[in-house]
Each structure stands twice: as C-alpha cells, then as structure tokens.
Structure 1
Amino acid sequence: MSRRAGSRSWVFRQQGNPNGRLPESLYGGGCRPERRGYSRAMGEFHLMIGTPWPWWLILAAAGGAGVVTWRGYRRRASEVAGRTRGWLSVLRWSAWLLLALCLLQPVRRQILREAHASRITVLVDDSESMSFADRAQGPSRLSRVLEYLGDEAGKSGLLGELGRSFRVQLEGFAAQARPLNAPAELKADGARTDLAQALNDAYARLRGPDATGLVLISDGADTRRSEFARAAAAYQRAGLPIYVVGVGAADVPDLAVTQVRCRRQVSRETLARVEVDVARSGFPPGKHSVRLLHKGQVVKTADADLQDGSATARFEFLPAEQGFLEYEVAIEPAPGELITANNRLAFGFVAFSRKLRILYMEGSIHQHNYYGRYTWGDKWEHQFLQEALEEDKDVEVTVLLGDPGERGEARPPAGMRFVKDGYPKTKKELYRYDVIVNSDISYDQFTEDQVKWTVDFVARHGGGFCMIGGWHAFGEGGYAKTAFDRMLPVEMNAADTHEHGKDFRWRITDDGWLHPILQIDRDAGKNREIWAQLNTLGPNRGPAFHGYSKTTHAKPAATVLAVVDEEDDPGSYLGPMVLVAVQPFGRGRSMAFTTDSTGGWGAEWEDAWGDDPYDPSRRNIYYKTFWKNAVRWLAHYRMQAPNQLVVIDSDRLVYGRGESADLRVKVLTEDYDPTHDARVTVTVTEPGGEAKPYSLFPRYDEPGIYERKLDLNAVGTYRIEAVAVLKNDELGRDATILQVRPSSEELRRLNQDVGALQRIAAESGGVYLPIEEAGKLPELLHQDMHLVRRYRHTELWDRWWVFALLVGVLCAEWFFRKKNGLP
C-alpha cells in the first residue's frame, strides 16, 4: 500500500507498475483512454476517504475519546476486576473506532480496463512534388504510396492492417487537409504544400478521447515554409503522436533555378540588376552556366559556382524596350538530371521612361564672350551646363538665376527667372524634380520652408542635391550650421573663404577612380589620360582651374573623389582641400563640387575639355559626360520608380500557380506626406477576363503603406490597378502586371526534407520511418492501442452490518457495565 501525497486515497496494486501512479482525476462513472507511459497493471483499486471534514481531525477526536475512556475506567479500578475492566475498555474503544470509520466515509474505487477500438488519421501528401519519380523509368512517389496504403477494405496494405484494429480516417493535403473516401482520390496535383495548415486541419477532426494519433506520409517539401513546429507541439500536448513516413530521395540529382530578384520598375536609362539563385543536389561541386533570355534570344550569360550547394548569378543590362518586359533565366541541364522543368524560370519587370527633371540655379550671370579662342559666339554662363545636360533628350532642365543686383552683373535675356521668385513655393512643385543643382547661390535666397522642403526632398524622397563652389557657396554663402550643412558631404564654417585666381591641379583619389561619376571612359587607361588633360588645359598648358571654395574637411560618411594637389595647396592638418565629395543622405544623395563650372574658375574645362577642339559637339564632350554622370548618380533613387503619389508594388512579378502575392501600395498626399487616411482599392483583372475589386488595409508601422495578399490560382496574366481616394478626391492611380506560370515551386523542391519530417515526429512524441521501413508502423500503432479505464465506486461505511456491529458493541458494553454496577 502506498500513500498518495496531497490526497485522501491509497493505491493498491496486484502487479508491478514501472511507470508510477495514474492520474488523480476522478471520472465518476466515465472512462478515460490510457496513454503511453501510464500504468496498464490489471486489478488495481483505490481506497479513498469521502468525508468533507479533515481526516486528521476525526482520527484525533477518536483517539481523544479512547484516552478519556481509558482514564475513566482506570479511576474505577477498585470497583471492577482487572479482566472485566479490560473487556469494557475494548468494547468502548471498538465503538469509537467504528464511529470514526463511519465519519471518514471510506470509498473503494476499482479500476477496470478493457480494449477499445480507437480512431487514427492517415494524412497523405497530395502536392505536385509527389508526382516526381526518384529514378529514371521508376514509379512516382504517389504510386509508391498508393501501393503501400493498399485498399481500405483489402487484406493487405496499411489501410487494411489498421482497419482491423482502428477506425481509420484517410485524408489528403497540399495547402489544406481534406477527408477522402478512397486512395484513388489522390492525384498529386496540389500547387503548394503547407504542412502546418494541414496538421492543424487534421487535428481539428481527430482530437477526442478515443483518438490514438496521426500517420503523416509526405516528402516534407513545405513550399509555404510554415511554422509546423507549433502544430506538432499541439499534438504532443494532446497526447497524439505523429508517425511520419518519409517518401522520396533525400539527394535527388537536380539543378534548379530557385528564385529571381529584381526591381518591379526599372528606368530604361539605368541598368537593370537581376539576381538569380541556383541550387544543386546529387551532383558534385562545380561551375554551371546560367543564361538570361528575352524573346528566346540570349541577353547575357553568367557562371554560378555551386561549391556549397547554392550560388547566385548576377546580371546587369539595359532594358531593350519600354513597358512590361518578360525575361527567362535558364541553367543548362546536367547529364543524368531527372527533371528539367525547374531549370528555367520566367520573370519580368516594367521598363519605364520619363524625363529626368533638373532644377539648376546659377549665380554667375554674364556672357562667355571674352574666351573667344574657346567658343564661337556668345553664351551665358548657365548655358554650358544646361546644354550639357539637355543633350540627353530624357533630361529636362529648369534654370533659375541668382539676384544680379547683389553682384552688379548685367541682367540676362528676357524670360529668365530668378531664385527668389522662381524657387518652388510648395512641396508639390519642388518634389516634381529629381535633382537640384545649387551653383553659387547664397543661403538668404531661400525661405525657411524652402530649406526644410529641400532637405526633406533628399532625405525622405530620394532626391539628389549638388552644391557648386563660388563666392556665395558653402560657408562663405551662409550655409554653415544650417540644414543644408547637415546634408552636404563636407564640413564648413562661417569664416570659410575662397581661393581666386590661383591655378591648381586635380588629384583623383583611389575611390574616385572607381566611382561612376568620374568614369568618362569605360577603359581605365583611357579614363586616366582624359583626367590628366585637366592639368594641361589652361593657358600655357597649365591647370584648367583657377579657384575654389574652402571647406574644413570631408564628413565621415562621405566619399572623396578628388582633392587639390598638395603641391599647389598643402591643405590643413585635417587633410588636403576637397574638390569633389559625395555621400548618401537618407534615401537620397548629395554632392559637393567646391570649384566652379563657369567662367573665372573653370572656363577651360567647361568649354574645351573634349577630344576635338574644332567640332562644337565634341570640344567639351568630357565636361558634358562628367555632369551627365553626376546627375544620374544623384538621381539614382528617384529614377527607380515614377515620380507619383500612388505607387503599387509586389514582392515579385512572376509566380507559380497557387502562390500568393503580397500587394503593397504607397500613398502620398499632394504635399508628398505619407498618409493612412486614404481609401485604397485595387481592381484585379484575372486571366479569364473577370475583374474583381479588393480593398487594401493600412500598415500602421510603415507610414503611407497599404497591403493585401492576393491568391493566384489561374495561369496567365493578372492586371492590377490601384486607386487612392482622400476626402472624395482621387490622389492618383498606378497599375502593374503579374505573370502566373504553370510550374509551381513544388518542382523546385524535390528532395525529401528528412530534417523537417524528423522534427515533426520528435516534437509530437512520434516516430519517423522512411517508406522502405514503413512495414514496422502497424506494430508500433498496435502497441499504442487504447485500454479504456472504467471506475467502480463502493462506499464501505454505508452497510447494514456496520451499523449492526456498532449497535451491538455499544449494547454489549452497556450490558457488562450495568452488570458490574457501573453507571
């Protein structure tokens, strides 16, 4: 007999129990299935105390009454013989014990066990990867599974074996689990696999007191990459082990294109960058050729070095056309490869073309007519940079001039606007530009709002900003300790001045030689020769520059591209004088060009830095190339997407059938501030032509972002248009195209994921078996067949003979007491 701590019961067993005691819960008249790890000893019963009173108080009262009885009879020792006194004490003590026993209300609970048929679910993977054959001319994975399952009504096979001892529920799954009437309903055509969802669906139908467990038959290729560990843990908490049968080879000889990454929208004037992930299994390490194709023609090739099982091939190219362009990447099949459908993957993006908008402010207002040996005819200073940029037909330049009154310069031709009047007066006006070039314009030409908007334009909206040197630039122009100062890549002080009439040579830094702004020619040797010309372009074959604005030093985040040669100016203890420096600022970029691009400091370079002094279109071709490089580098972020208030985006442009697209729409107000107050809807036109409207919901942790998941269950082209409305006024709209291909991700994940299947088994308390060893499964399941416990309760104190015995003892004690003359 063993006392159970914390309860008023004792456990009696007729056989040994290696697993300890049973759960203490009392199921009155009911039954509870016996689980693995609990006792299965037969003939076990409990002796329980049913009184609501504390058992120790009743026993203490009975003991106290016995002591009082003993002391009472001892005081009368002279009146009664010793043997008589002893019998009287025994009778009185017996009465007290019987009364205490009745007050304790003892109950005998007998545990009866009997075998009971229980339920089990067989959950079979029905996704597309199960149609794959692991060897040439061999059966598919599903065929092997169907042979293993047999017929539920037959005498062989897993279903027939289990049907003799269990109630079997057959289910299939891909994205979700569903009940089946027969194995023939399995088709291996599911577009994606979601193990967690399937396990949750099966659990909802399986759970109950008569459930035994679940048999999962799968290759483990979870294309949704779901959190199946949580689902397995729910089975473990319910005492339902998952017995996993793994199907398929763990190392299928295969090469596969697993993913393609690129931007959804690409400017035709910028390089499209595409990353292609390639994986191998079953083949030795080595290099494999990856091709990029457009309309069946090879655009580029790259090698993927598959040393560690996976690698990324990278492509850079200019889009061939405008609009939605579809491309394909393909890896050459290897000898012995069983399936080649996953060797190719289509993708696409929208190639758009819009003008690059430049706001150019020039403080030098005079005609370039005194350098007659460099130019034919008269030009205003701002025309050199304007013409250089507008030579590209995709660039649009707006020119504003500084106040001529503060310099005593002549007024320019009629029609020219000035900074104070022409600089944008609203955010909407300012943000239509992509790059702002400030050449020798003092800080006091701007209002505080214009300064704030300009910094916000660069930091938050990805614009570009360039400051060019002069007498009214950098610290000398009042920019020190202002918001512009924080944006620029050089430190400056209000006391900074300039060098005027001082010839100096450029020295390109190591970073400068590699930077795209300074790539006048793609050939590195030729490029160095071109830059060397700057030091021999001026009068008497001297330097081409004759002055610059002084700054303190470059900021830590800046990249210095060029400095004043130390032989011409040693600089300071902080380093040489900076000529060209760049840095990122928020989403945008900024540039400091401390010398000048106009007459006086840089007349030769703006007019004669080229390869043919007699051809007007080429006499300053290098000057033009430099500034074209500069503005395109500065506009990098802005040129990646159209400049608009509503922009739709998705995580990819090409999907497999059955996958889901993450749609995101960014919404800005007319002041270019992100908002969550708009009503955003998308109209999705499916491949069949049916148009369906959907609402998008704001993502409050990302200002201005609305999102929704879109299920893509049809093959073809999905056309999506987004519209944003704020206060009944339309802010704007945007459209995109999604391509859905028949080949789903199932064919890109062919290896059996043994690790995932083993984790499911381990975390649920089950067992993993490869299908080659699955013959052991029925024996394991029979070991866990339910023994149902039933309880029979008998109240030991509520018996007539107990009452008769108590009355008989009391009467006998009273009779002997009276016979001996005791009260």
Structure 2
Amino acid sequence: VPPAAGEAITSNNQRSFVLQVIRDKIRVLQVSGRPSWDERFLRQHLKENPNVDLISFFILRTPNDAPGASENELSLIPFPVDELFTTKLKSFDVVIFQNFDYRPYGMSQYLTNIRDAVREGLGFVMIGGEQSFAGGGYLGTAIDEILPVRLESGEFSETQVLPELTAAGRRHPVTDLTRGTGSNERLWQELPSWRSLNLTAGVGPGSTALVVDGRVRGGDGQPAPLVAVADVERGRAMALPSDSRWRWRFAMHRDGGAAERAYHRFWSNALHWLVRDPEHSRVRVLPDKRRFEVNELIDVTITVRGRDYQPVPSAHVRATLDQAGVGTRGVDDLSTGETGAARQRYQGLAAGAYRVSAAAQAGGESLGSGTGVFIVEPRSLELDRAAPRPDLLAAMAKIAGGRALRAESGAWSNLVLNDPDVVEIDRRRNIELWDNAWALVLGIMLLAAEWALRRRSGYL
C-alpha cells in the first residue's frame, strides 16, 4: 500500500507471503491400437479429470485394410504420425501407448524422437495387449531402451493374474491407493484380479518392480512384473504388461465402490509421478512453518528417498540458503540419519523471503533435489498488542472532537444520530417512443423497401 502523506508507520503497508504454484494442465497423448474396455475406461478417466488436457487416438483401421472406397470418401481421419511425433511431441507431458503396434504406420524413425523426449523430461507409459511390448515389435528399438522391463519374444496370454505389492511397491506413491487412510497392502489383495499378461524378461537395470504376480515367472526367473517404473535421465517411464485394469473400474458397485476409487487413484498417482509432481519428489525440503519472526529459530527438515522410496541413511546433502533480492546467504553440507532425514537450523536472519535448495547424493549417484520456502517477518508491536486499549481510543476520539464509549456502558441509547437525507420522487412522466410521426414514416419506409426487394427478386 503506498504510504500516505505524514504516515508515521509504513512497515505494515506491505506483507510477503508464500504462494504455491501448481501445474495448470497435464497434457496427455493416448494412442490405442484398438478399442477395448481398458482403453475406454482409461480415456474416460483422463477426460473427466479437470487437470488433464487429453489428445486421444484409437485405431479403427490400419493402412493394410481394404475399405473398398477412396480415401476422400472415408469419414475416419488418417493417423497424423509425422505431426504428433515431430513438431507436437514436446507439447505433451505424458505419452501413452496402449496395445499399439507402430509398424503398420512407418513409425520406426519416430521412436528415436520419443526416446530422446523421455530423456529430456517426457513421461512415457506402455500398456499391455496383443499388440504391445514384444508383440508390437518394440524389441531392439529405441523404445526398448527406455522401458522399465526387458523384452523378449514373450507371449500375450489371457490368464488370471494376481497383483501383489513388492517391498518397493508398499512405499511408492504410484501404488499408494489409500494415502494413509487404511491398509494399502490389504486393499491390493482385495481388488479384483487381472485376466491378461504380457510375459517379459523381468525388470531392466535401474528399474523397479512395484507389483508382481508371484505365481508366474518371467524370463529372468523372477516373479513377473505387472507394474514397473524407471527414471530415464530427466524423464520417467512406466510399464503395465496387462490390459485388464478395467476390471477395477467395472466393479464400481463392489465394496462400496472401493475398486473404482482405487482405479482412479492409481492413474492419478501415476500421472503425477510421471510429471515429477513436487509432492512425489524423492528429496523434500520441509520448513517447520511458512512464517517466522526475526530472531526466531528456524528449523528445516530435509528427507531423502531412494529409487524405491526407501529412506537413504548417510546420504550427502548440500543445502543452499538464498534470500530474495539479496542472493546466497549460506551453503551447508549435511548427512542424513537412519530415517533418511537431515535437519538444518537458521537463526538471526533478516526480514525477507528465503529459499532452501537441497541436492542429495549417495555412493556417487545423484538422488535428486528439492526446494522449500519460508518468510521472515519483522516483529510488529501492532500485532503483539492486538487487544483493545481504551485509553488510546479515548485520546484519539478527543483529538477528533468525538467521544469514546464502552459497549457495555449503556450510553449508546443516548446518542443523537443525524438522520440521512431522503429524496422522494413524486412525479413520473412516460414517453412512448413509437407514438410519433417519425416512427410511422420509418415503418412505411421499411415495408416499402421489403416490397421492392421481393418484387425485384421475383417473389411478387
């Protein structure tokens, strides 16, 4: 607030505050090889999510089909391969390949674009089906390099699959379907089973299996992965070698809708993890509160998690303190304890806005970074003594030529209040706009013009 002329105290004319900026929309490209229940329910979930901007393609005919008509007579639009995977690719946050075989569309050269985009920050999901994983010809391609699972000439089978959380899956944000409101592992056990599986050779290097079927063995002899994730440089990838998650969505009336809620929560978690939502960051910087006073002790907790979201003890953390408009105020090297947390204390900071940036590493491997912000405010006597002061109010009233009265004194009934000025209107005049000669002339001219136009056009 601009200071007024002669204003004695201007320190309370402004106040800093922390504003949390969230992502407006997650832009998703969904490409499905054929219509299915799994495709339908996923597309419905994405369309109904107000935080998602969806571009969806599902293939109803391939270039090998013979429709018996020319291209310009068909209502189906051609699949815009070149536009999607060159000029428009970087406009998406997440790309989903769902039971999609790229080979009929001459896409080999575009798979490299997708791989490079994932390494630069794109999220990529491959969902199972007959035309997915090895069945879609992805073995040995650029997509194979970023998938969390290793491909082989594995088969797609329609068989009962029992999802089971791994140790990493019990802690990972993608598979947390209860968000602390109940037993997550029990919920997974009670959800409907899946009925299809793309058999793979297990998880790849640096990847993590979150959900497996312990009864089925992959090519590496380990339990077959059903949900696997991986960090790919700046981007992330997810593999879902089954196309029957729709069974959760289909059981909307079972157990009070628990399976349907689990379906929506799973995909919501997956999208936020793929776009690196700060809530799912492996390195988090958490000040004890958002506002502190000058000379108040400021404690900041830094938590560090590994790829499997397990606490990382003895991780090296470098914490940098920056003040807005000033620059770096300090750099501290910390080490996490057994719980994967480190604490840093600041004292004697001047009033202003501050940011703590933390970068963690362990064993020579970067574990990521995170930031936290807080405000240091000058001490305010005005706020320290916010209780009413009758003596001060009486002095102010006397200077202004008034009186100070207490609410319980009963003196309010004796106050003489001036009635407001009242203006009464007791005259009214109505003017009919059409009740004049000019209105009659205008009406005749319009009718004559209409008659002339109709006669010239041959209607009379």
**Range into which the TM-score falls when normalised by the shorter chain:** 0.5 to 0.7
* 1:139 alignment partner in structure 2: none
State the AA in 2 paired with 1:453: N
Q: Deviations over 1:579-613 (max 9, x none)?
A: 111010010110110001xxxx4442232167656
1:417–1:433 CA distance, 2 compared to 1 (3 A): farther
What residue is the counterpart of 1:358 in the other structure? 28
Letter in 2 for 1:404: R
The answer to whether residue 157 in structure 2 is matched with residue 514 in structure 1 is no
Match for residue 654 of structure 1?
323
Contact 1:400 1:416 in 2 (8 A): no
Cα deviations by residue, 1:330-376 (Å, 9 ceiling, x for unpaired) = xxxxxxxxxxxxxxxxxx4661441011111112325x5xxxxxxxx
Whether the 8 Å CA contact 2:34–2:60 is kept in 1: the answer is no
Residue correspondence of structure 1 range 433-452 to structure 2 within 5 A: 433-444=92-103, 445=105, 447-452=107-112
- 2:242 match: secondary structure: coil
Greater strand content = 1
Distance 2:189 2:66 in 1: 34
Letter in 2 for 1:557: G
Q: CA deviation at 1:661?
A: 6.8
Q: CA contact under 8 A between 1:403 and 1:419: conserved in structure 2?
A: no
How far off its partner does 1:576 sit? 1.6
Higher relative contact order (CA 8 A, sep 6+): 1
Q: In the superposition, relative to structure 1, how do residues 507 and 654 fare at CA in structure 2: closer, same or farther (>3 Å)? A: same
Report whether the alignment pairs 1:629 with 2:269: yes
Give the match's secondary structure for 2:84.
coil
Q: CA deviation at 1:634?
A: 0.7
Instruction: State the partner residue of 1:483.
Output: 142
**Mapping of 1:126-525 within 5 angstroms?**
326-327=16-17, 348=18, 351-365=21-35, 382-402=39-59, 404-405=61-62, 419-421=79-81, 424-427=84-87, 429-444=88-103, 445=105, 447-460=107-120, 462-493=121-152, 495-500=153-158, 502-523=159-180, 525=182
Cα displacement (A) at 1:655: 3.5
Alignment of 1:793-812 (within 5 A): none
Tell me the distance in 2 between the aligned counterparts of 1:386 and 1:638: 25
In structure 1, which of residues 562, 570, 579 is the aligned counterpart of residue 211 of structure 2?
A: 562
Question: Does the 8 Å CA contact 2:95/2:124 hold for their aligned counterparts?
Answer: yes
Structure 1 residues 354, 398: CA separation in 2 closer, same or farther (over 3 Å shift)?
same
Look up the equivalent residue of 1:608 and give its one-letter code.
Answer: A
Q: Which amino acid aligns with 1:451?
A: L
The one-letter amino acid paired with 1:356 is I
- Structure 1 unaligned regions, length at least 5: 1-294, 296-324, 328-347, 369-380, 538-543, 641-650, 663-714, 718-737, 744-823
**CA pair 405-463 structure 1, distance change in 2 beyond 3 A:** closer
Aligned partners of 1:610 and 1:623 also within 8 Å: no
Cα deviation, 1:642-678, whole Å, max 9, x if unaligned, reads xxxxxxxxx876347xx3479xxxxxxxxxxxxxxxx
- Structure 1 residues 352, 631: CA separation in 2 closer, same or farther (over 3 Å shift)? closer
Deviation at residue 532 of structure 1 after TM alignment: 1.4
Structure 2: distance between partners of 1:409 and 1:652: 66
Residue 240 of structure 2 is aligned to residue 593 of structure 1:
yes
What amino acid is the match of 1:548? L
Mapped partners of 1:633, 1:612: distance in 2: 27
CA distance 1:593–1:416, change in 2 (3 Å): farther
Question: What is the Cα deviation at residue 417 of structure 1?
Answer: 5.6
Q: Does 1:549 align with 2:198?
A: yes
Q: CA shift at 1:556, angstroms?
A: 2.2
- Between the aligned partners of 2:16 and 2:254, the Cα distance in structure 1 is 40
Give the TM-score, by structure 1 length.
0.31
Letter in 2 for 1:359: L
C-alpha displacement at 1:529, in angstroms?
2.7
Percent identity at matched positions? 25
Residue 442 of structure 1 and its aligned partner are, at CA, apart by: 1.2
Q: Determine the C-alpha separation between the residues in 2 that align with 1:660 and 1:570.
A: 55
Separation of aligned partners in 2, 1:456 and 1:637? 21
CA distance in 1, matches of 2:64, 2:157: 18
Say if 1:520 and 1:527, in contact at 8 Å, map to a contact too: yes
Q: For residue 332 of structure 2, what is the aligned residue in structure 1? A: none
SS state of the match for residue 471, structure 1? coil
User: In the TM superposition, what is the alpha-carbon distance from 1:622 to its structure 2 partner?
Assistant: 1.3
Unpaired stretches in structure 2, ≥5 consecutive residues: 1-11, 68-73, 281-319, 330-350, 354-372, 379-460
- Structure 1 or 2, whichever has the larger Rg, is 1
One-letter code aligned to 1:474: F
For residues 180-227 of structure 1, give each alpha carbon's deviation from its aligned partner in whole angstroms, at most 9, with x where no partner exists.
xxxxxxxxxxxxxxxxxxxxxxxxxxxxxxxxxxxxxxxxxxxxxxxx
| Cα separation, 2, equivalents of 1:456 and 1:624 | 29
- Contact 1:489/1:555 (<8 A) preserved: yes
Judged with a 3 Å threshold, the aligned counterparts in structure 2 of structure 1 residues 406 and 638 are, in CA distance, closer, same or farther, namely farther
Structure 1 letter corresponding to 2:240: F
**Inter-partner Cα distance in structure 1 for 2:131 and 2:209:** 22
Structure 2 equivalent of residue 648 of structure 1: none
Q: Report how many aligned residue pairs link the two structures.
A: 279
Change (3 A) 1:481 1:520: same
One-letter code of the match for 1:605? W
- State the match for 1:531 in structure 2: 188
* Closer/same/farther in 2, CA of residues 407 and 552 from structure 1, 3 Å limit: farther
Q: Is the 8 A contact 1:438 1:467 kept in 2?
A: yes
Indicate the SS of the match to 1:424. Answer: helix
5 Å matches for 1:574-593? 574-593=221-240
- Cα distance in 2, alignment partners of residues 623 and 740 from structure 1: 39
Secondary structure at 1:577 match in 2: strand
Report the secondary structure of 1:532's partner residue. helix
**Alpha carbons of 1:359 and 1:406: their partners in 2 closer, same or farther (altered >3 Å)?**
same
- Confirm or deny: 8 A CA contact 1:465 1:589 kept in the other structure: yes
Distance 2:138 2:278 in 1: 25
Q: TM-score, normalised by structure 2?
A: 0.53
d(CA) in 2 for partners of 1:605, 1:625: 11
How far residue 498 of structure 1 moved from its aligned partner, in angstroms, is: 1.2
**C-alpha distance in 1, partners of 2:188/2:65?**
35
